Structure 1
Amino acid sequence: MSRAVEESNRRMLRARDAMDRAYAEPLDIPTLARIAFVSPAHFIRTFRATFGETPHRYLQRRRVERAMFLLRGTEHSVTDICMAVGFTSLGTFSRTFHDIVGESPTAYRRRAVPLGAPGCFAMAYCRPASLLDKPGGTGGG
Structure 2
Amino acid sequence: MKNLLLGLHSDGELRLGMACPFIEPELAWRQPGAHVRNVSDMTVLRWSKSVSVPLDVASSGHEAMHCVALNLKCTTVDFDCSSKPLVRGRLAAGIAHVSSPCSSARARFSESCDVLHLYIPQGVLLECYEDLFGRPHGGEIVIESDQLLRDPTIDQLGRAMSVSQTSDLTLGRVFTDSVSLAIASLLVSQRYAPPRRRPRKAGQLPKWRMTRVMEYVDAHIGEPIGLADMAESAGLTRMHFAALFREASGLRPHEYLLRRRIERAQSLLIGSQFNLLDVAISCGFSSQAHFTTVFKRYVGETPHAWRMSRFEAGLQSRIGS
**TM-score, normalising length: structure 1:** 0.67
What letter corresponds to residue 46 of structure 1 in structure 2?
L
SS of match in other structure, 2:240: helix
Find the counterpart in structure 2 of residue 49 from structure 1.
247
Matching residue of 1:110: 308
Q: Report whether the alignment pairs 1:67 with 2:265.
A: yes
Query: Cα gap change, 1:29/1:115 in structure 2, threshold over 3 Å: closer, same or farther?
Result: farther
Offset, 1:20: 2.0
Q: Which of structures 1 and 2 has the bigger CA Rg?
A: 2
The 2-side partners of 1:39 and 1:74 are apart by: 38
Q: Is the 8 A contact 1:60 1:96 kept in 2?
A: no
Aligned CA-pair RMSD: 2.3
Deviation at 1:15, TM superposition (A): 1.3
**Bigger helix share:** 1
Letter in 2 for 1:52: G
Give 1:98's aligned residue. 296
For residue 38 of structure 1, give the secondary structure of its aligned residue in structure 2.
coil
Distance 1:115 1:58 in 2: 29
- List structure 1 runs of 4+ shifted beyond 4 angstroms: none
Q: Is the 8 A contact 2:213 2:233 kept in 1?
A: yes
- Residue of structure 1 in register with 2:138 after alignment: none
In terms of fraction of residues, the more strand-rich structure is 2
TM-score (norm 2): 0.32
1:92-116: per-residue Cα shift (whole Å, max 9, x none)? 3222211221111111012112859
1:127 — aligned with what? none
Paired residue secondary structure (2:231): helix
Counterparts of 1:44 and 1:95, CA distance in 2:
27
What is the percentage of aligned positions where both structures have the same residue?
34
Counterpart-to-counterpart distance in 1, 2:272 and 2:288 = 18
How far the C-alpha of 1:29 sits from its partner, in A, is 0.8
SS of 1:112 mapped into structure 2: helix
1:78 alignment counterpart: 276
In 2: Cα distance, 1:97 partner to 1:80 partner: 15
- Match in the other structure for 1:31: 229
1 CA distance for matches of 2:224 and 2:308?
Answer: 29
Distance 2:269 2:301 in 1: 13
In structure 1, the gaps of 5 or more residues are 117-141
Aligned to 1:87: 285
